Structure 1
């Protein structure tokens, strides 16, 4: 007897299987047929939910970014913390290793998964920049700081920070990590036109605590 499952349940099964296979075989080597065999479904069922393997990859990536975006939006709406704390906490919420276990991260950083990894970083910037812009604009409105190009500055900062702090791309020792963090804090201070060391202590406290 054929088992009929609800739409979201079947779709999530396909995504779960695809995610496993992407990490084991690599995105490029994994085929739609591999996914079909893993879930035990017909090709027509697969194409009912997804147009292509690329679309599946984008849905897998969205799982990571959706978790981060949900965290960030909660912080954004939290009236019990200052605007400065919101900014720092949202940056902290984007640490992708909090969303993905170490084994998966190691697989993602393999050469065969470069496209998947790149897509995650790309979508993280695309998703998070508008959220950060809201915090920046809140700070501008409250005259906490100034910012000439909120969206562009946040895109630049995110692209740099997410790439340079990615352990799969740059292998930094503890001292180098500290120097990079200091430089990134200095960069955001310049972007927001606040005095030097305005965020330094707050970044350190929140980064280590949360």
Structure 2
């Protein structure tokens, strides 16, 4: 066995996550072992368990890394008031469609998985949505203040986060519920978008 190259802890952890992500995408979660990951980086078990408690732990870390990158892109767009409001909505929806497709492929969010298996994916997905709630609430308030969307629901600064959470988590349920329950694959995200449009009296995203 070749000598292992000494790397800084964060660099080594990042390498493990990158390698594990590629293997999970290539083989699927069930067919990847800790030994497979270590083989790719020429590492020892002790090194792996210094950073992660288990295969489940690194799987969650892979998804967290993925979602963190996606979240930053969406936040930057929603906060950029130099971009016209409806253009931001259109871009956001395009990103969501692309992200769903990539997420399903990379982390195998499939009806064929057991409910227990998909629970890891669902946990990380809901955690990611939680980080997006406040940003989306501010975006809704901006739309109301600039008359870009209607406010038939009586949205205020005090309840905007609750409304945002209701919409975002509801959208996730619409898109992923059948897959999580094992009945079929991920639903068309346009179904969720149409519901959101109706919530805002058809104004949001229809331009």
Please, which of 137, 142, 163 is the counterpart of residue 173 of structure 2? 163
Could you report, residue by residue, the CA deviation over 1:103-133 in whole angstroms, capped at 9, with x for unpaired residues?
Answer: 436x331405413431342123112112112
Contact 1:108/1:116 (8 A) holds in 2: no
More divergent stretch after superposition (72-81 vs 84-93): 84-93
Please, which of 195, 202, 205 is the counterpart of residue 183 of structure 1? 195
Contact 2:103/2:109 (8 A) holds in 1: no
Please, which of 40, 56, 59 is the counterpart of residue 57 of structure 1? 59
| Alpha-carbon distance in 2 for matches of 1:31, 1:131 | 37
2:102 is paired with a residue whose SS is coil
Show the counterpart of 2:109. 108
Matched, 1:122 2:126: yes
Distance 1:97 1:69, change over 3 A: closer
| Alpha-carbon distance in 1 for matches of 2:6, 2:143 | 51
- Structure 1: gaps spanning 5 or more residues: 190-195, 203-210
Please provide the CA RMSD for this pair: 3.5
The TM-score with structure 2 as length reference comes to: 0.70
1:41 is paired with a residue whose SS is coil
- Structure 2: gaps spanning 5 or more residues: none
Contact 2:197/2:204 (8 A) holds in 1: yes
| Alpha-carbon distance in 1 for matches of 2:28, 2:100 | 23
For these two proteins, the number of residue pairs brought into alignment is 191
Contact 1:17/1:35 (8 A) holds in 2: yes
The TM-score with structure 1 as length reference comes to: 0.69
Contact 2:176/2:186 (8 A) holds in 1: no
2:106 is paired with a residue whose SS is helix
Distance 1:161 1:3, change over 3 A: same
1:201 is paired with a residue whose SS is coil
Matched, 1:45 2:47: yes
Could you report, residue by residue, the CA deviation over 1:149-208 in whole angstroms, capped at 9, with x for unpaired residues?
Answer: 2112212211222332349725699xx876654333102x1xxxxxx3222523xxxxxx
**Pairwise CA distance, 1:75:** 1.1
